Each structure stands twice: as C-alpha cells, then as structure tokens.
Structure 1
Amino acid sequence: MDRDALVSHWFELTRERMPALASERGWPVRFDHCFQRILLDNAVGAKWSDHIASPAYKNAPVRVLQDAIDIGEACAAGRAELAAFNRLSLEWRGKL
C-alpha cells in the first residue's frame, strides 16, 4: 500500500470507525486524537512524539503507520483489547 492509501486508511480508521465503535465496545476513549495516540505509541513502543516529528501521519515511517493501522484493525475486529494498548500508552507518557 502506498503512503497516500495508508494515510486515507489511517484517518478513516481513527476518525470514523473507531470512534463509532467506542461506546459499543466500552472503550476508555472516544476521540480521534486519543485513538491516534494509542495506536502510534504502541507501534513505536514509546511516546510516539519522542521519535516522530508532528504531524505523525506525514512524518511516520510507512512501517510505523502500517503497524499502527494493524493494531487499530485488530482492536476494531475484536482480536485485541484497546484498553490494554491505552494502558501501555499512558505508562509510556507517565500518566499511570
């Protein structure tokens, strides 16, 4: 998948699908920027902004963007727990 297609997928996933699923799934977040934080942090394995210049969708390596999308797709499909990824993200950010 080329970068433009990945970015389109990224925004559709984090701005539309995941927020629409939030209340149905009982997820701890509901806003697009929260989903983006969680997915990017987990794709990087740390606070993403310590490793990628903002805006991430323009500056993240393609592999990181694809990994973030894969995590989001797994959560959306019910194959992974968003709450667990959120906890990791918050730990990396010193919020827990």
Structure 2
Amino acid sequence: MPDKAKMLGTACVLLVRDFEKGVAYWKNCLGFTAHIWGEPPNFAIMERDNIRVMLSHAPDHNNKPNWEVGGGIWNGYFWGGRWAINLSRVYSQRRQDRLHAA
C-alpha cells in the first residue's frame, strides 16, 4: 500500500472589513508575524508558533460571524498544549509584556 500524503497544517480564512486594523490587531495585540500581499495590501497570512490565520480584505461583505449563525460555532479554534487558548488571555499577556518593556 502506498504511503499516504502527509498533511502539515491548516489555516482559517477570516474576512476583514478594515484590513490595516485587522493586521495590526493580530500583530500587535496577539503577537503574530504578518506576511502581506497585494497592491494595495489585501491579503495576509498571520503566523505565530505553528498557527496560521489568513486575513482577506472584504470591505463590503455582509456575512455574519459563525457564532451569529449557529450557537457555539466559531470561525476558528486555537490550541495551546492540550487546551483551547483564550485569546483575551494572550492579549493580556502581550499587554503586560509591552508594559514591562517600557
């Protein structure tokens, strides 16, 4: 039997109305590195550790976030070790790091 092709990862694609603000949030508040494409910039892969999140500029989109469509459904999940990561905790840690660095 031939070897199966190995999958190495996945990334969710999030639509953002304000591209610059979305990139700044993931970069400055959550500590991701931004890889940006387009002229003007309209697509980014945000990367931290082994996590990748894609941001796509969609200024006129009227889609609702998943949690507004079905209860308890989110646009993406993040794991740290064995547990789901609370992004507000990551934000708080980043904020504390910036305060100590000042």
TM-score w.r.t. structure 1 length?
0.34
Which of structures 1 and 2 has the bigger CA Rg? 2
Larger fraction in helix = 1
- RCO higher in 1 or 2 (8 Å CA, sep ≥ 6)? 1
Larger fraction in strand = 2
